[in-house]
Amino acid sequence: MIGRGYLPIILVTLVIALTPLVISSNSFFNFTVLVLIIALAAQGWNLLGGIGGQTSFGHAMFFGIGAYTASILQTHLGVNAWISLVAAIAAGALAGLIVGFLSFRAGLRGSYFALVTLAFAELLRVLANASELTGGAAGLLLKLDPGFANMQFSSRPTFMLLALAFVFVSLVITQKIVNSRFGAHLVAVRENEDAAKALGVDVLTVKLKAISLSGAMTAAAGVLYVQYFLYIDSGIAFGIWISIEALLAPMIGGRGMVLGPLIGAFTLHGLGEVTKSFAGRVPGIDLMVFAVVLIVVIAFASSGILGLIRKLADRFSSKGGA
C-alpha cells in the first residue's frame, strides 16, 4: 500500500509524464520545462516558508549557487554534469546551513529574516557580476553537447521528463517530511515558536534542517535551468525574479501543502500565457496579473487554490452527510 498523501503526487506526475503521447508542440514543452523548474525552486521555498513559516525573499541565492556551481565545475574544470549536479545540491545545502546558522542564531524572524535573505541574494548578484570565475557580466555558456552523460537532451520531451523526475522526487521528499516527526516540529515552529520551544522542540536545529533541505532543492532547480538553457548570468541566477517566482507559486497554489508549488506554478504561468495572448506584447503584463492574483489570494483565500478546493470539498461532504 502507498502511504498517506502519495496518491495525488503519483497521479499528477503521471498526467504530466503522459503529455508527450498526445501533445507534440515544442512551445508546450518549453512552457512545461520552465514551470517544472520553477515548481522545484518553489518546493524548496515551500519547505522553509510554507511548512516552516520562515518567509524568504532571497531564494535566488540557492538557485544561483546551484546554477553557478554546476556551470563552473563543467566549464572550468571539465567535471561530469551529473557529478556537478551532486556538488551543486550539496553547495545549496551548505549555503542554507550557513545563512540559516547566521540569521536564525541571531534570532531573525519575519520581516528581518526576509530582508537578510534578500540581502544575501543581492550581495551574491553583485559579486557574480564582478568576478571572473562566474564570467562577470557576460555570464557563462555551457558547451552544447547533447547526450545523457552531459545531462543535455536535444529532445524537449526528454528534458521535460528529467525535470519531472526531479519534481517528483521533491514532492515525495516533502510528503515524507510532512508525515514525519520533523514535519510536525516544523509546523509547531511556524505556528508558535515559543510554545514549540517550551515543549522541548530544538527550534534552531529544526530551522537549520529545513533551510538546508530548502537550499538543496532550489539549487537543483538552478542546475536544471542551466542544463536546459546552457547559459547563466548574474541577473538570471541571483535576480529577484526567481526569488519572487519561488515564493508566488506556493502562495497561489497553497502554502505549506505538498502540491501547492506545482499547482501554483502551472496556474500562474498558464494565466501569464493567456494574458499575453490577449494583451499582445505589452511588457510586464503577465507579472501584473501575477501580482493581482497574489493580492486577491491573500485577501480572499489565504491557503491558496488547494486550500480553496479542500474547503469546498469539506462543505460538499458535510452537506452530503447532513
Partner 1 sequence: MFSPTIIIEAMINGLLTGAIYALVALGLTLVYGVLHIINFAHGATLAAAMFAVWGLNAAFGIDPYWAILIVTPVFFVLGYGVQRFVIGPAAHGDDGNILLITLGLSILIENALLAGFGSDTRSIPSDFSFSVVEAGPFLLSSARLVGAAGSLIVAVLFWLLMSRTDTGKAIRAVAREKLGANLVGINVGHIYAITFGLGCAALAVAASLLMPTFYVNPRIGGAFVNIAFTVVVLGGMGSIPGAMAGGLIIGMVESLSGLLLGESLGQIGIFIIFILVLLLRPTGLFGAKA
What span, in angstroms and rounded, lies between the C-alpha atoms of 48 and 210?
6
Told to check if 107 binds partner 1 by CB under 8 A, we report: yes
Told to check if 280 binds partner 1 by CB under 8 A, we report: no
Instruction: Rule CB under 8 A: choose which of 74, 84, 129, 174 binds partner 1.
Output: 129
Residues of this chain, 281-320, that bind partner 1 according to CB under 8 A: 282-285, 287-288, 290-292, 294-295, 298-299, 302
Closest CA to 259 of 193, 168, 134, 129: 168
Residues of this chain, 159-198, that bind partner 1 according to CB under 8 A: none
Least distance in angstroms from the C-beta of 268 to partner 1: 12
Do 221 and 59 form a contact (C-beta atoms < 8 A)?
no
Instruction: Rule CB under 8 A: choose which of 18, 83, 102, 133 binds partner 1.
Output: 102
Do 206 and 190 form a contact (C-beta atoms < 8 A)?
no
Q: What is the DSSP string of 117-180?
A: HHHHHHHHHHHHHH-TTTTGGG-EE-----BGGGTB-SSHHHHHHHHHHHHHHHHHHHHHHHHS
Told to check if 46 binds partner 1 by CB under 8 A, we report: no
Told to check if 130 binds partner 1 by CB under 8 A, we report: yes
Q: What is the DSSP string of 8-75?
A: HHHHHHHHHHHHHHH---HHHHHHHHHHHHHHHHHHHHIIIIIIS----S-THHHHHHHHHHHHHHHH
Told to check if 230 binds partner 1 by CB under 8 A, we report: no
β-pairing verdict for 140-141 and 231-232 = antiparallel
Least distance in angstroms from the C-beta of 297 to partner 1: 9
Closest CA to 44 of 232, 261, 302: 261
Three-class SS of 245-263 = HHHHHHHHHCCCCCCHHHH
Residues of this chain, 232-261, that bind partner 1 according to CB under 8 A: 240, 244, 247, 251
| Closer residue to partner 1 (CB): 23 or 296 | 296
Which residues have CB under 8 Å from 244's CB, separation 6+?
none
Least distance in angstroms from the C-beta of 302 to partner 1: 7
How many residues touch partner 1 (CB under 8 A)? Answer: 41
Told to check if 111 binds partner 1 by CB under 8 A, we report: yes
Distance of CA 49 to the CA centre of its chain: 11
For residue 283, give the C-alpha cell.
Answer: 511588457
Told to check if 274 binds partner 1 by CB under 8 A, we report: no
Instruction: Rule CB under 8 A: choose which of 29, 45, 120, 225 binds partner 1.
Output: 120
What span, in angstroms and rounded, lies between the C-alpha atoms of 38 and 242?
8
Please choose, out of 100-108, 203-211, 219-227, 308-316, the segment that lies near partner 1 by the rule CB under 8 A: 100-108
Told to check if 108 binds partner 1 by CB under 8 A, we report: yes
| Closer residue to partner 1 (CB): 22 or 300 | 300
User: Site residues (CB under 8 A) for partner 1?
Assistant: 53, 55, 57, 102-103, 106-108, 110-112, 114-116, 118-120, 122-123, 126-127, 129-130, 240, 244, 247, 251, 282-285, 287-288, 290-292, 294-295, 298-299, 302
